[in-house]
Chain A
Amino acid sequence: MDLEKSMFVSAAALRAQSQRMRIISENLANSNSEAVAPGDDPYRRKVITFKNAMDNELGVNTVKVESVDLDQSQFGRRFDPGHPAADENGYVQVTNVNSLIESMDMKQAQRSYEANLNAIEASRNMLMSTIDLLR
């Protein structure tokens, strides 16, 4: 039944968004993770990509997580000569996580999750009111 399929699709989106939320939490939690020795890299931000996936069993287009990659942008630099990972000029590499970007991503994940929850609820209500016609 189409309404059950739509619930399945929305559930796949919920799963994808919760994985995205996990990646955002990892980034935020590690926004202060720095290198421990000179030459070491600090925490590198992770980015998640989604992909449209065909479910052949049900014949519907769902969404799935394509991959979790590392953000290739440059690390920041901070002058901190006392830091154990400081180079000869006294600079420490800091992570490329930007907490403003992460919080915007988090808002988007929240809203998307909410939208899909509403879609599940709407499908369920439609099914239930159709069944109620029999009573």
Chain B
Amino acid sequence: MDSKLIQAVNAYGKTMQSGATAPSDGAKNIGGASFKDILGNAATEGVNATAQAERAAAQAVAGQADLVDVVTAVTNAEVVVESVVAVRDRVISAYNDIIKMPI
């Protein structure tokens, strides 16, 4: 009976330790990049891809670019923007969940 109690206390202590260290490890893995930086980089990438697509489209209208280039540039921009928007929506919904959390 006593040994079981000691085991339980030890297990609890271990869990507490791992629980205490896990978040700091996680934070280290991100390497100091905050959510703001990630979102900022993603948005910049999206804007760049869109600008490239627009340039290709304008060149095609002027007869300087291949239609295939326009299609690939636009598809690329679409993929980048869609993924940025999806991640943003997901993270904002996570923030909202935290805000609504009863304290």
Contact = CB atoms under 8 A, between A and B. Distances in A.
Given A131-B86, A134-B87, A134-B90, A15 B79 contact: no
Nearest to B79: A127
A19 to B, nearest CB: 10
Interface stretch (A4-12, A28-36, A59-67, A101-109): A4-12
Interface residues of B, number: 14
A18 B68 contact: yes
A124 interface: yes
Interface string B68-102: 11011001100100110011011000000000000
B71 A11 contact: yes
A15 B75 contact: no
B interface: dominant SS: helix
Given A8-B72, A11-B71, A128-B79, A135 B66 contact: no
A interface: dominant SS: helix
Interface of A: 4, 7-8, 11, 14-15, 18, 120, 124, 127-128, 131-132, 134-135
30 contacts: A4-B76, A4-B79, A7-B75, A7-B76, A8-B72, A11-B68, A11-B69, A11-B71, A11-B72, A14-B68, A15-B68, A120-B71, A120-B72, A120-B75, A124-B75, A124-B79, A128-B79, A128-B82, A131-B79, A131-B82, A131-B83, A131-B86, A132-B86, A134-B83, A134-B86, A134-B89, A134-B90, A135-B86, A135-B89, A135-B90
